[in-house]
Amino acid sequence: MSYGFRDGGSARAGAAEAGIGRREFLNGALVAAVGAAAAVPAAAGSAEPSGTASGGPPAFAVSTPSPSASTPDRRGQDNTKTYAENLRTPVVGRYQVIVAGGGPSGVIAAVAAARSGAKTLLIERYAFLGGNGTAGLMTCYNGFRNQRPPDALQTVKGIPAEYIAEIVRLGGVADSVPYAQTEHDVPSGDLSYVVGFDAEAAKVASLNLLRKEGVALRLHSWVAAPMLEGSRVTGVIVESKSGRQALAADIVVDATGDGDVAAWAGAPFAGPAAQGDRMGMSLMYQLGGVSRETQEATGGIRVGDRVVLWGPSFGGDALDVENLTRAEVETRLKLWEQVQAMRKRPGAAPVHLAQTATCIGVRETRRILGEYMLTEQEAIRGTRFPDVIAISSNPMPSYRGRRFFFEHEGFDVPYRSLVPLRIDGLVLTGRCISCEQGPFQSARSMAPAMAVGHASGCAAALAAKGGVAPRKLDVKALQKLLLGQKAELRIPA
Same domain, yes or no: 310 and 175: no
Whether residue 466 lies inside any domain: the answer is: yes
264 or 297, higher pLDDT:
264
Q: Which band of pLDDT confidence, cut at 50, 70 and 90, is reported for residue 39?
A: very low
Q: Which band of pLDDT confidence, cut at 50, 70 and 90, is reported for residue 34?
A: very low
Q: What is the mean pLDDT of the chain?
A: 86
pLDDT at 247: 98
Segment 48-68 shows an average pLDDT of 39
pLDDT at 291: 83
Residues 318-358: pLDDT tens digits? 999 999 999 999 999 999 999 999 888 888 888 999 999 99
pLDDT at 400: 85
Q: Is the pLDDT of residue 294 over 80?
A: no
pLDDT at 21: 36
Same domain, yes or no: 376 and 447: yes
Segment 477-487 shows an average pLDDT of 98
Same domain, yes or no: 341 and 376: no
* Domain, as residue range, for 354: 281-362
Q: Please say whether the beta carbons of 400 and 50 come within 8 A.
A: no
Lowest mean pLDDT among 176-185, 236-245, 433-442: 176-185
pLDDT at 183: 85
Same domain, yes or no: 285 and 253: no
Whether residue 57 lies inside any domain: the answer is: no
Same domain, yes or no: 347 and 265: no
Of 340, 362, 384, which marks where a domain is finished? Answer: 362
Q: Is the pLDDT of residue 270 over 60?
A: yes
Whether residue 1 lies inside any domain: the answer is: no
Q: Is the pLDDT of residue 102 over 80?
A: yes
For the entire predicted model, the pTM comes to: 0.85
Lowest mean pLDDT among 49-53, 294-298, 427-431: 49-53
pLDDT at 298: 79
pLDDT at 296: 78
Return the CATH number at 175: 3.50.50.60
Whether residue 62 lies inside any domain: the answer is: no
Same domain, yes or no: 307 and 386: no
Q: Is the pLDDT of residue 264 over 70?
A: yes
Segment 172-195 shows an average pLDDT of 91
Lowest mean pLDDT among 140-144, 274-278, 401-405: 274-278
183 or 250, higher pLDDT:
250
Same domain, yes or no: 112 and 233: yes
pLDDT exceeding 70 applies to what percent of the chain? 83
Same domain, yes or no: 374 and 453: yes
Whether residue 60 lies inside any domain: the answer is: no
pLDDT exceeding 90 applies to what percent of the chain? 73
What is the rounded CA–CA span in Å between residue 26 and residue 369? 9
35 or 159, higher pLDDT:
159
Same domain, yes or no: 389 and 448: yes
Same domain, yes or no: 203 and 107: yes
Same domain, yes or no: 375 and 411: yes
Segment 263-292 shows an average pLDDT of 88
Segment 223-246 shows an average pLDDT of 98
Tally of structural domains, the chain: 2
Whether residue 27 lies inside any domain: the answer is: no
Q: Is the pLDDT of residue 46 over 60?
A: no
Whether residue 22 lies inside any domain: the answer is: no
Of 362, 388, 423, which marks where a domain is finished? Answer: 362
pLDDT at 85: 87
Q: Is the pLDDT of residue 6 over 50?
A: no
Lowest mean pLDDT among 121-125, 337-341, 488-492: 488-492
Segment 367-377 shows an average pLDDT of 97
Of 338, 362, 386, which marks where a domain is finished? Answer: 362
Q: Is the pLDDT of residue 70 over 60?
A: no
Same domain, yes or no: 297 and 189: no
Whether residue 373 lies inside any domain: the answer is: yes
